[in-house]
Structure 1
C-alpha cells in the first residue's frame, strides 16, 4: 500500500511515441484490450497494483504507481511479446510531477503528432475505464484523469488549440482530396468501424460529397448501423477481396494486432491507394512491391497536415499556462491528502472502541440501547484521555489538554482550592 505522502513520487510513466520510434517499431509494442487482465495480474505479482495503459497510433504509454519502476519493462514486454532491450532504448521514463504534467500535456493535445488533436482525451478515458474495471484504479489515478478532463475542457473553451478538424482521420481525407482532383468520382472503401474509422467516414461524407463510399467490417452489424446513419454503401465482410480490388482508395482502420491486407489479395492492375490508419500496421508492407499500389501510413499523413498548423503553435503558451495553474491546484490537493491516513486511523479506532464496548455490554447481559452504548463509549474515551494526561509529564499533559481544548472546545473549570 502506497503512503499518501510519497505517492506522487511513486507515480511513473513509461512511454514510446512517434518522436523516437517509427510506425513499424511502435507496432511491436502496441497494447490491446485482451491483454489487460493478464497485465494487471502480472503487475500485481511485482507489487504494482495501480496502472493503466494508453495505446494509440501515435503512442503507447504505461502510467503506474511503484516503489521501483524497473520491473515494469519486463512485465510489459512479456505481455506484448516485445524485446525488452529495444523497448528500453526507444522509451522515455518520467516520475512524480513530471509524469503528471506529461499526462496533462498528452490529454490536452500538446504532445499529439497532430498538434491539438483532442481524440487522445477520449482514448485515455476509455483506456482508464477498462483498467478500472479490471481493479487497477486508485483514488489518485481517478483524480488524475478527472483533472486531465477538466484541463482539456478549459483549453478547448479558452484557446484555439483545437480549432479546425485536424486529426488522423481528418488528415487521411485531406490527403485524398489533395492527391485526386476528381476525388468525388473515386470508389472509396473504409475497412473498420472503430472510433477512428467512424470519424474518417464522417469526414469523407462531409468533405468529399462522394456517393461511392463503402463500409466493410468483420462484424457486419456494425457496418450496417454506421452505413444507415451516414447514408453510405455497405458490403459483407466475405466480399473483402472483391471490394478491395474494385476500389480506387482503400482505407484500413481495423485495429488488428497483425496485418489484414496482403499483396496476394490484390489482383487489380489499376492504381490503388492504400491508407493504413492502424498501429501496428494492418497493411503488410509487401504491397509496395506492386507498381500500381501506393501505401500511406499515419506518420506520413501527420507530416502533411502539420504544415497547416502554424496558427495552433501560437496557442501553446496559453495552454501551458493553463496546465501550470492546474498543476499548482493539484499540488495543494495532494498536500491535503497527506493527513488522510491519520484521519482514517482515528475513525477506525473509534469504530473499534464502539464495537468493543458493544461486546462488553453483551457479555454483562445489559440491554443494549443507543444511550447505554454511547454512555459506555464516552466513559471509555474519557478514561483513556485521563490516563494519558495523568501519566504524562506536566508540560506534555498541558500541551495535550490545550490541544483537546482547541479541537473540542472544552469548558475548562478551575479546581477550587
Structure 2
C-alpha cells in the first residue's frame, strides 16, 4: 500500500529497540520506569506532539506517535533514559505510517514477542494508552488503533493455539529450574521482587514444582504480603535478604530497580546457588559468578530456550496473520473514511448548493418545469459524482493528499475538521 501522511503535517512513527538487536544491558539503558514515562508524555505535550503511546517491557522500549520527524521521538526517549542517540542508531528502528501500524499489530498480538505467543504486551499497551489519555495525548487515531489491536489479540487467543501452554518468561524460568535443579520440591526457593513477572513466576513455581517452601521478599513488605497471602507463602523483611539468600538453593530476582540489587558482597553462601535474573535492567551483578557454586541465568537466555510448545505454536502463525489482516483492513478503512469524509461531505454540500441554484433558475425560466423530477435526477447525479471521487481517493495507487487538495481547490470547499 502506498504510504501517505496519516496527519497532514505529521507522520505516525514508531521508534524503539527490542531483544532482536539489543542485548539486556543495552535494553536496560533505554528502559523507562513509570516516572520517566510520565515525564516523556508531559514533555511531548509541551513540544506539540499530537498523540503518543509508550510501550515499555523487559523485551522492548517503544514510542509510537505523531511527529514532523522521528528524531523528535528518539530525542524524547534518549532524554529520559540513560541511552544515547549514538547507541540508538546502532540498535534502534524507525517505522513510519503503515509500517508503524503493522509493527504495533505484530507486537500487540504476540507475533513479535521474545517468546512467541506471549501476550503480556497487550496489558502494557492498555496501561500505556490509559497513561496517554490521562496526559492528554490519546487522540482518536491512537484510541481506535489500540482498541483494534486488542480485538485482534482476543481473536488470536480464542481462534488459534498461539498462546496455548502458558509459555512466558515466567514459565520458561520454571522449566529451567525444574530441569537444572534435582529434587526441586525439597529445595528452598527465594523470590525477590513482586512485580508482574515475579507474581507469574511465583504462580508457575507453585503449580509445577509442587514446592510450597517458597519465601517472598520485597522492598515494600505490604506488596509481598498481598502475594504471600494469596498463595499462602512465607514473607520476610527486606533486611533479611542476605540471611535468606544463604538458606536458598534457588534465587529468583524480579525487581524493578534501575541498578543491581544483588551483588557479590551480598552473597555469603554455604551451598550452591542458582540465580535467575528476570529483570530489565539487570538486577544481579555479573561478578556474582566469581563466587564458587553460583550459577547465574538471565531472562535473555531463558527466552532462547525453545520447546515443543513453541514449535507447535509456530504452526498457528499463518492463521494469526490472517486474523491480523482482517482486523487491520477494518482499521485502515476507518482511517480512510475518517480522512476523506470531511472533503466528500463538503463536496456534496457544494454540489447541492449548485443544484438548488440551478433548479431555482430553471423553474423561473421554463413554464412547464417539473422541480420534483429535476430534484430526483440531480440528487442521483450528485450521489454518483461523490461516489466516484470517494473511490478515486481510496485507490492505493493515488496520492490521496494531492487529490484531496485538488478537489478542495477546484470546488473552493470549506472543509470541517474530522
Seen in structure 2, the aligned counterparts of structure 1 residues 393 and 266 have a Cα distance that, compared at 3 Å, is farther
Seen in structure 2, the aligned counterparts of structure 1 residues 240 and 55 have a Cα distance that, compared at 3 Å, is same
Residue matched to 1:357: none
Q: Give the C-alpha shift of residue 110 in structure 1.
A: 0.5
Q: Pick which of 311-320 and 118-127 moved more.
A: 118-127
Residue matched to 1:351: none
Residue matched to 1:302: 303
Residue matched to 2:412: none
Q: Is 1:196 matched with 2:197? A: yes
Cα RMSD (Å) of the superposition? 3.0
Question: Within 2, Cα distance between the matches of 1:267 and 1:345?
Answer: 76
Q: Is 1:266 matched with 2:267? A: yes
Question: Within 1, Cα distance between the matches of 2:159 and 2:142?
Answer: 26
Contact 1:191 1:253 in 2 (8 A): yes
Q: Is 1:37 matched with 2:53? A: no
Question: Within 2, Cα distance between the matches of 1:8 and 1:105?
Answer: 27
Task: Give per-residue Cα distances to partners, 1:55-95, cap 9 Å, x unaligned.
Answer: 11111111111122222212210111321111121011111
- Segments of 5+ residues of structure 2 without an aligned counterpart are 348-352, 363-370, 383-418
Q: Pick which of 172-181 and 287-296 moved more.
A: 287-296
Seen in structure 2, the aligned counterparts of structure 1 residues 37 and 341 have a Cα distance that, compared at 3 Å, is farther
Residue matched to 1:378: none
Residue matched to 1:116: 117
Q: Give the C-alpha shift of residue 224 in structure 1.
A: 1.1
User: What are the residue-to-residue correspondences of 1:130-149 with 2, within 5 Å?
Assistant: 130-149=131-150
Contact 1:252 1:275 in 2 (8 A): yes
Question: Within 2, Cα distance between the matches of 1:281 and 1:337?
Answer: 45
Residue matched to 1:328: 329
Task: Give per-residue Cα distances to partners, 1:222-264, cap 9 Å, x unaligned.
Answer: 1111111111111112211211222111111111111111111
Question: Within 2, Cα distance between the matches of 1:340 and 1:249?
Answer: 61
Q: Give the C-alpha shift of residue 283 in structure 1.
A: 0.9
Moved over 2 A (4+): 3-9, 41-47, 305-308, 339-346, 401-407
Question: Within 2, Cα distance between the matches of 1:195 and 1:341?
Answer: 45
Seen in structure 2, the aligned counterparts of structure 1 residues 133 and 269 have a Cα distance that, compared at 3 Å, is same
Residue matched to 1:363: none
Q: Is 1:212 matched with 2:251? A: no
Task: Give per-residue Cα distances to partners, 1:293-346, cap 9 Å, x unaligned.
Answer: 111111111112456511111111111111111121111111110145569999
Seen in structure 2, the aligned counterparts of structure 1 residues 403 and 128 have a Cα distance that, compared at 3 Å, is farther
Question: Within 2, Cα distance between the matches of 1:263 and 1:290?
Answer: 8
Seen in structure 2, the aligned counterparts of structure 1 residues 170 and 402 have a Cα distance that, compared at 3 Å, is same
Seen in structure 2, the aligned counterparts of structure 1 residues 81 and 102 have a Cα distance that, compared at 3 Å, is same
Question: Within 2, Cα distance between the matches of 1:76 and 1:393?
Answer: 63
SS at match of 2:215: strand
Q: Give the C-alpha shift of residue 120 in structure 1.
A: 1.4
SS at match of 1:6: coil
Question: Within 1, Cα distance between the matches of 2:246 and 2:9?
Answer: 54
Q: Pick which of 6-15 and 205-214 moved more.
A: 6-15
Seen in structure 2, the aligned counterparts of structure 1 residues 4 and 89 have a Cα distance that, compared at 3 Å, is closer
Contact 2:167 2:309 in 1 (8 A): no
Q: Is 1:169 matched with 2:170? A: yes
Contact 2:165 2:309 in 1 (8 A): no
Residue matched to 1:67: 68
Larger radius of gyration: 1
Contact 1:274 1:295 in 2 (8 A): yes
Contact 1:216 1:240 in 2 (8 A): yes
Question: Within 1, Cα distance between the matches of 2:43 and 2:376?
Answer: 47
Contact 1:12 1:63 in 2 (8 A): yes
Residue matched to 1:55: 56
Question: Within 2, Cα distance between the matches of 1:8 and 1:298?
Answer: 41
SS at match of 2:114: coil
- Segments of 5+ residues of structure 1 without an aligned counterpart are 347-384, 410-417
User: What are the residue-to-residue correspondences of 1:14-413 with 2, within 5 Å?
Assistant: 14-305=15-306, 308-339=309-340, 341=342, 389=357, 406=379
Q: Give the C-alpha shift of residue 144 in structure 1.
A: 0.8
TM norm structure 1: 0.80
Seen in structure 2, the aligned counterparts of structure 1 residues 245 and 341 have a Cα distance that, compared at 3 Å, is farther
Contact 1:216 1:234 in 2 (8 A): yes
Contact 1:26 1:280 in 2 (8 A): yes
Seen in structure 2, the aligned counterparts of structure 1 residues 282 and 10 have a Cα distance that, compared at 3 Å, is same
Contact 1:36 1:134 in 2 (8 A): no
Contact 1:151 1:323 in 2 (8 A): yes
Contact 1:262 1:287 in 2 (8 A): yes
Q: Give the C-alpha shift of residue 280 in structure 1.
A: 0.6
